[in-house]
Amino acid sequence: MPTLNYKHLRYFWMVAKSGSIARACKQLHLTPQAISGQLRELEQTLGVELFHRIGRGLEVTDAGRRILSYADEIFALGDELLDIARDQTTRRSLPFAVGIADSVAKMVAHRLIEPVLSLPEAVRLICREGRLTPLLAELAVHRLDIVIADQPMPANLNVRGFSHLLTESELSVFGADALLAKLDGDFPALLQGAPFLLPGDDVAIRTRLEEWFASQRLHPRIVGEFDDSALLKAFAQGGAGLFAAPRAIAGHLTEQYRVRALGRIETISEQVYAITTERRSSHPATIAIIEQARSSAIGSARRGRRTTSEVGRALPGGALTALPQSTSSAGDSISS
């Protein structure tokens, strides 16, 4: 059985990180021929192609990206080993791998995950971003500890998982001042014929937005569709179109993207879930994320005497949280 040559793996890791063999050569003080030859040996050992050549550059293949994620962890663990060897008082950090769906706003994800960094245990946070289905596949084989998504575990996936509702917020429609100056009328009528940026098909609110347009007899001009929420907002900042986003992060959007809220869509709310493979999570970081959301919502409920479905309040910085509800992959309600 072939064994893995970790020196070859590091050469692959350096080339993938630097983007070219030439740049990796300068860091490794090796010739391009030496690195190319050892990359070929690694490909033969693994039985996969690691790079595609694009012009003069290299692009990591799908198999290469998967191997790269392992290499990241291997060399991070190696660096930690050296730190511990040099300083015996250093505590070993507990890895916590989080998958974040492209559709989740980065600020919302940051505020949800932030409690992990305040735990008494030393935690090494590993964040992976991508489409929901591949992230859930990684969760199923325990490559991830938790997935943050804008929808619960899809019922059509053969993956056992539990969904914990973390946040819920009404939507608002936003746009750049240069674009708003060209629009006439009041909200929502001004959306008629206005350029609009839609989230991609995988984003949970996409269908609900389209249904709302139909119910209001509005036909905005769809000029773009985006799976990645940050890329959508970057286009909106440039005046390409209007977009919908959680009202709870309106302040952040105004400050970072220089956009302004036009009006609220009270009949649509965006939820964010934590998806785990355990009904009762044992990882302290997962517990911290879920309990932070729960305690915030319970505190709000006690002050406002509202029903469970109405509970929600702003975390520091404006992220809205709601009482987490845990459901199995089949959709049956269970306690968290």
In this structure, the answer to whether residues 137 and 221 fall within a common structural domain is yes
141 class by beta-carbon count within 10 Å (0-12 exposed, 13-18 middle, 19+ buried): exposed
Helices (H), the chain: 6-18, 21-28, 32-46, 62-86, 106-113, 132-140, 177-180, 205-215, 229-237, 250-257, 284-304
Q: How confident is the model over 49-81, as pLDDT tens digits?
A: 998 877 767 788 888 888 888 888 888 778 777
**Quick check: is 131 in a domain?**
yes
Question: Quick count: other Cβ atoms within 10 Å of Cβ 183?
Answer: 17
Question: What is the model's pLDDT at position 173?
Answer: 96
Q: How confident is the model over 223-250, as pLDDT tens digits?
A: 999 988 889 999 999 999 999 999 888 9
Instruction: State yes or no: pLDDT of 281 exceeds 80.
Output: no
**Quick check: is 91 in a domain?**
no
Domain final residue pick, 42, 57, 86: 86
Count how many domains the chain has.
2
In this structure, the answer to whether residues 240 and 307 fall within a common structural domain is yes
In this structure, the answer to whether residues 126 and 70 fall within a common structural domain is no
Instruction: State yes or no: pLDDT of 189 exceeds 80.
Output: yes
In this structure, the answer to whether residues 100 and 81 fall within a common structural domain is no
**Quick check: is 160 in a domain?**
yes
Domain final residue pick, 86, 121, 141: 86
Nearest to 300 by CA among 310, 288, 286: 310
Instruction: Tell me how far apart the alpha carbons of residues 13 and 323 are, in angstroms, rounded to a whole number.
Output: 42
**Quick check: is 336 in a domain?**
no
At residue 13, the 3 state secondary structure works out as helix
In this structure, the answer to whether residues 128 and 224 fall within a common structural domain is yes
**Quick check: is 199 in a domain?**
yes
In this structure, the answer to whether residues 103 and 73 fall within a common structural domain is no
Among 26-30, 87-91, 270-274, 297-301, name the one with the lowest average pLDDT: 297-301
- Give the mean pLDDT of 159-181: 90
Domain final residue pick, 58, 86, 114: 86
Question: What is the model's pLDDT at position 235?
Answer: 95
Identify the CATH number of the domain in which residue 80 sits.
1.10.10.10
Which residues have CB under 8 Å from 68's CB, separation 6+? Answer: 12, 13, 16, 60
In this structure, the answer to whether residues 37 and 155 fall within a common structural domain is no
Instruction: State yes or no: pLDDT of 141 exceeds 50.
Output: yes
In this structure, the answer to whether residues 31 and 157 fall within a common structural domain is no
In this structure, the answer to whether residues 115 and 249 fall within a common structural domain is yes
What's 118's DSSP letter?
G
**Quick check: is 1 in a domain?**
no
**Quick check: is 257 in a domain?**
yes
Q: Which domain holds residue 73?
A: 6-86
Percent composition of the chain: helix, strand, coil (DSSP 3-state, to 5):
45, 25, 30
Instruction: Tell me how far apart the alpha carbons of residues 214 and 209 are, in angstroms, rounded to a whole number.
Output: 9
> Distance between the two ends of the chain, CA-based, in angstroms?
44
Quote the mean pLDDT of the chain.
81
Question: What is the model's pLDDT at position 89?
Answer: 59
Partners of 171 in the beta sheet?
246, 265
In this structure, the answer to whether residues 250 and 292 fall within a common structural domain is yes
Instruction: Tell me how far apart the alpha carbons of residues 163 and 209 are, in angstroms, rounded to a whole number.
Output: 23
In this structure, the answer to whether residues 192 and 58 fall within a common structural domain is no
Instruction: State yes or no: pLDDT of 311 exceeds 70.
Output: no
- Per the listing, tokens 């590091």 go with 10
In the structure, what pLDDT confidence band is assigned to residue 253 with cuts at 50, 70 and 90?
Answer: very high
In this structure, the answer to whether residues 168 and 211 fall within a common structural domain is yes
- Per the listing, tokens 């409920």 go with 301
Question: What is the model's pLDDT at position 1?
Answer: 57
Q: How confident is the model over 35-52, as pLDDT tens digits?
A: 888 898 898 888 889 988
Q: Which residue has the higher pLDDT, 86 or 117?
A: 117
**Quick check: is 256 in a domain?**
yes
Helix pair angle (250-257, 229-237), 10° resolution: 60
User: Which amino acid is it at 260?
Assistant: R
Question: What is the model's pLDDT at position 87?
Answer: 67
Identify the CATH number of the domain in which residue 283 sits.
3.40.190.290
Q: How confident is the model over 209-218, as pLDDT tens digits?
A: 999 999 999 9
